[in-house]
Chain A
Amino acid sequence: MIRYAANRVLGALGVLLVASVVTFSIFQLLPRVTKVDMAFYYTGRNTSPAQAAAVSERFGFDKPVWEQYWTWLSGIVTGRDLGDGVSAVHCAAPCLGYSFRQNRSVTEMLVQAFPVTLSIVIGAAVLWLAGGVAAGVIAAARRGSWFDRGSTVISLLGVSIPEFFSGMLLIYALTAGPSWLRWYSGGITYVPFTQDPVRWAVNLLPVWFCLAFLITAVYTRWTRAAMLETMSEDFITTAKAKGLRRRTVVGKHGLRAVIPTVVTLAGLDLGALLGGVIIVEYLFSFPGLGRLAYDGISTKDLPVIMGTTLFAAFLIVVANVVVDACYAILDPRVRHGG
């Protein structure tokens, strides 16, 4: 068991290393391909060639690529000083880069943006898991009923309406719609949990619904299919033959069998979403990781793009490890190494 866990963590570190190489290469090599000096990505367009050369030398863009990579990577672990001795900035570990455009370390930006994304994703996950799994189980248990048909239609709507469309409608209705719907006439802004938990939740509610709508639809369809498959298993026949109530057969024996896979799915989705929910964060102007990445891309702020990308990769890798651990806890056959 310990050996297994150690193997998994080592594997995860390996994947992260590969991710760092890929991230580094893409963003370091791109300027070479497009023949735009690296320095421009750091300082902005209105830079004279002389200034650019100075910047290049200062940050070591003239050094070999592998050396730059090593400096960048070791900076993550030990922190690093950027620039020459005169106007150096210290970027404390874990240093994921420093944006001279904004004069802030990328790590600092990530730390500030992550709670926003976390707030959005966790709340939405509660909604989509509760809603999707419950609806899927009921739809499967009452196959062909009005509930089953209705949830099928709503799910299809859910997966076919793009987020930005439903999100825009929602924002419009809640902030500028008819007076009985204008619950957020003051606008929907992010309020940190530590500042005001009630306003945090109230203002996040529409964001949660907007994000959860589509995913709930997916989870409903998926849970329904998994439950239908499970309900034809032999152990379900056994459960019925024991004289268990239908509620117990479906809600205990049936549901228990699909939970490990639901958890896997949810874990991977969480890992992917925690790296930033670009569309939703953009729509609602919430300063999360998605928004950070979007702004980084639109201003060509290279250190920010690299930092958010690597952090997103890190979250996905962590999610995979966590999912594996959950699976081992939830499935005794895996737990016993069977």
Chain B
Amino acid sequence: MADEPLLRVRDLSVHFPTPDGLVRSVDGLSFDVRAGEILGVVGESGSGKSVAGKAILGLHEPGQSVTTGEIRYAGRQVVGAAEEELRQLRGSEIAMIFQDPLSSLHPYFTIGDQLSEAYRVHNRVSRKAARARAVEMLTLVGIPAAARSYGAYPHEFSGGMRQRAMIAMALICDPGLLIADEPTTALDVTVQAQILQLIWDLSQEFGSAVVLITHDLGVVAETCDRVVVMYAGRCLEQADVVDLFERPMSPYTWGLLGSIPRIDETRGDLAPIAGQPPSLIDLPPGCSFEPRCGFAFGSCTSERPELSAAGSEDHLARCHLPVPDRQEIWRTQIAPAL
């Protein structure tokens, strides 16, 4: 690939030294995000998705964490960059929204002030101009009576409205990349789809790429172009979304697919993957999913599998099972049971 992607993550590791030992929250993670693309990052809770997302903004305190590897945004290296350089990137080039909009908005400042502030920190404009921009953004995300809502406090909004305001704040400087960390998890089921739709619409309108972090493969299927499947700080599989759902090549992804509730559910039994994720302090020496994998064999316990092509050039998976065997297992055992 000759053209450089918008975001290039290579061998990213984020480790936290704690009294109990080194927590390897992200360990050797690599992926690309192309301009305008929506990349899904899925994995069970605790697999390092949020830590990876914050690392892209350089949000981990250097004193309390060790970040290594490469995060290159539009040619600029983020890992190890000076604080001032990171600051100018945050909000203006890369923006982020979070799981719980209520705790993520400051309770004592009005929605409008928080939006204006985000705009003014990166643009030399008058208060009035910033206010106009904020109202424009609030209107754009579908907040009724935006001019009046400008003076409202976060607690006066509903959960969905708050997340809309967060999205408006994130996009106010027209960033090239939006990181959305489980943006619908804390919301009512009824508004989840609306918020996802909004993120999708706006990413099209603004031409922003999106990293959509979620533990819900259903969300990925509806929204994303590519998918990274994370487990215990590592990527176990990444592929185009159609490829991933039609030919998943990692036993962990099979497990995740098995735990999606389906509308046409006839059996009614949801099968979450048995067992618990490993401790991030004591990772198994071999494949990190081996203790829970139903297809593990000899080398899985001792040797860490590499991320390698599985089926096509840009479909990567980390698994010792030979590719044809996996294709066979998927076709004959897993897919029919789903």
Binding site for B on A (CB under 8 A): 144, 233-235, 237-246, 248, 253, 256-257, 260, 330-333, 336, 338
Contacts and interface: CB of A to CB of B under 8 A. Distances in A.
B153 interface: yes
Q: What bracket does the count of chain B residues touching chain A fall in?
A: 20 to 34
Interface string B121-137: 11000000000000000
Contacts of A235: 103-107
A242 B118 contact: yes
Given A246-B83, A256-B106, A257-B106, A241 B95 contact: yes
Given A240-B59, A243-B121, A234 B109 contact: no
A260 B106 CA distance: 14
B287 to A, nearest CB: 33
A251 B105 CA distance: 17
Nearest to B96: A241
B153 A332 contact: yes
A279 B25 CA distance: 56
Interface of A is mostly: helix
Given A234-B100, A235-B103, A241 B59 contact: yes
A166 B324 CA distance: 83
Interface stretch (B41-49, B84-92, B244-252): B84-92
Nearest to A330: B108
A235 B103 CA distance: 6
Given A235-B104, A243-B91, A243-B122, 17 more contacts: A144-B63, A234-B98, A235-B105, A235-B106, A237-B54, A237-B104, A238-B105, A241-B59, A241-B95, A244-B91, A244-B117, A244-B121, A245-B87, A256-B109, A331-B107, A331-B108, A332-B153
Contact of A257 (B57, B92, B108): B108
Central interface residue in B87, B108, B117, by most chain A CB within 10 Å: B108
Contacts of B98: 234, 237-238
Contacts of A240: 57, 59, 90
B121 A238 contact: no
Contacts of B57: 240-241
Interface in B203-220: none
Q: Which 8 A/B pairs are nearest by Cβ-Cβ distance?
A: A243-B91, A243-B90, A234-B103, A332-B153, A242-B91, A235-B106, A234-B104, A242-B118
B210 to A, nearest CB: 15
B156 interface: yes
B169 interface: yes
A241 B108 contact: no
B124 to A, nearest CB: 14
